[in-house]
């Protein structure tokens, strides 16, 4: 089955995510209003924004969940490695008294150089990857919300224009003068 970026998934390969980001860029760039949109254009725009926003919110939820889970795992792993380092320092540090900052540095080095959860990258790298995806998806949703706000503005303008166009003129359009009363005399006549 081939990858379809329009269908949200709970996880993506690096290639799929790169394709997904490119798809979002292309789809959001397609969402353009003409200078004076017709009601049909506004309606089509609304449908397109809604479809894209729905996909983006699902992708955002999955990315957010993964980012939160990895961030929590990073904190737990840092604490675990810190305790292990205090209990059994690696042989290269066995005869040294390390400061807390030095121990944090050793912990960071251990985590950075150890593949995580069967992957080929470290936990720090995974957190960074999902942080980038999280930031990207926040930006996509913000952009789509901005377009939705623009849609609301254009829709309001169309309603006002429609209301103004449907009003009947209250002043006669011809040059016809209304009849004068019978007892009227023109003051210019002498």
The per-residue DSSP string of the chain comes to ----TTS--S---HHHHHHHHHHHHHHHHH----SS--HHHHHHHHHHHHHHHHHHHHHHHHHHHHHHHHHHHHHHHHHHHHHHHHHS--GGGTT----HHHHHHHHHHHHHHSB-TTSSSBHHHHHHHHHHHHHHHHHHHHHHHHHHHHHHHHHHHHHHHHHHHHSPPSS-SS-PPPPPPTT---TT--
Q: Is residue 81 situated within a structural domain?
A: yes
Q: Across residues 69-85, what is the average pLDDT?
A: 95
pLDDT at 178: 61
181 located within any domain: no
Is 10 within the bounds of a domain?
Answer: no
| Average of per-residue pLDDT across 100-117 | 91
Give the number of domains in the chain.
1
The pTM score is 0.76
User: What's the chain's average pLDDT?
Assistant: 86
81 touches 93 (CB < 8 A):
no
Q: How confident is the model at residue 33 (pLDDT cuts 50, 70, 90)?
A: confident
Q: What is the pLDDT of residue 160?
A: 78
Least confident of 23-27, 44-48, 160-164: 160-164
Flag whether 172 is in a domain: no
Residue 11 belongs to some domain of the structure: no
Q: Is residue 190 part of a domain?
A: no
Q: Is residue 48 part of a domain?
A: yes
Query: So what's the pLDDT on residue 18?
Result: 97
Is the residue at 99 inside a domain?
yes
Residue 48 has pLDDT above 80, yes or no: yes
Determine the structural domain holding residue 96 and report its residue range: 16-28+38-164
Per-residue pLDDT averaged across 125-144, rounded?
97
């Amino acid at each position: 089955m081939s990858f379809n970026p329009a269908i949200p998934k709970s996880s993506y390969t690096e290639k799929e995510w790169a394709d997904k980001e490119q798809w979002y860029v292309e789809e959001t760039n397609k969402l353009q209003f003409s200078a004076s949109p017709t009601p049909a254009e506004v309606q089509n725009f609304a449908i397109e924004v809604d479809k894209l926003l729905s996909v983006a919110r699902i992708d955002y939820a999955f990315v957010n969940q993964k980012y939160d889970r990895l961030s929590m795992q990073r904190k737990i792993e840092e604490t675990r490695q810190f305790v292990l380092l205090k209990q059994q320092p690696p042989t290269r540090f066995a005869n040294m008294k390390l400061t807390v900052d030095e121990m944090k540095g050793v912990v960071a080095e251990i985590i950075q150089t150890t593949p995580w959860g069967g992957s080929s990258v470290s936990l720090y790298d995974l957190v960074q990857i999902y942080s980038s995806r999280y930031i990207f998806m926040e930006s996509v949703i913000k952009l789509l919300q901005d377009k939705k706000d623009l849609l609301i503005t254009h829709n309001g303008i169309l309603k006002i224009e429609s209301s103004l166009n449907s009003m009947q003129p209250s002043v006669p359009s011809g040059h016809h003068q209304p009849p004068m009363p019978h007892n009227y005399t023109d003051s210019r006549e002498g």
